[in-house]
Amino acid sequence: MGAGYRASAESNSKDPHDWGRAMAAAMSDLVAQSNLAGSSHAALFGKVLHLTVAETDDGVDITLTWTPDETPE
């Protein structure tokens, strides 16, 4: 993956039904990073985002990454 954006947030639950807040926090951070680079949230429409869910002792770590020049498959 080339130059892009990466944002993570933790959930204190291992149940996927409880991951919404962490997903929203990571997405908000990703958008904030792209805004600082002069982009807008609309630049994400139709783009490929990568989601990684890593188990932690107390729950999971949600990581979203986006490379602006990556095209949908």
The DSSP string of 16-67 is GGG-HHHHHHHHHHHHHHHHHTT--GGGGTT---EEEEEE-SSSEEEEEEE-
60 has a pLDDT exceeding 90: yes
Confidence of residue 38 (pLDDT cuts 50, 70, 90): confident
pLDDT at residue 71 in the model: 59
> Which runs of E-coded beta strand occur in 1-73?
5-11, 50-55, 60-66
What pLDDT was estimated at residue 70? 60
Q: Model confidence at 68, in pLDDT bands (50, 70, 90)? A: confident
**Hey, how many other C-beta atoms are within 10 angstroms of the C-beta on 2?**
7
- Distance between CA 1 and CA 14 in Å, rounded? 28
Task: Tell me the pLDDT band of 20, cut-offs 50, 70 and 90.
Answer: very high
Model pLDDT, residue 40: 83
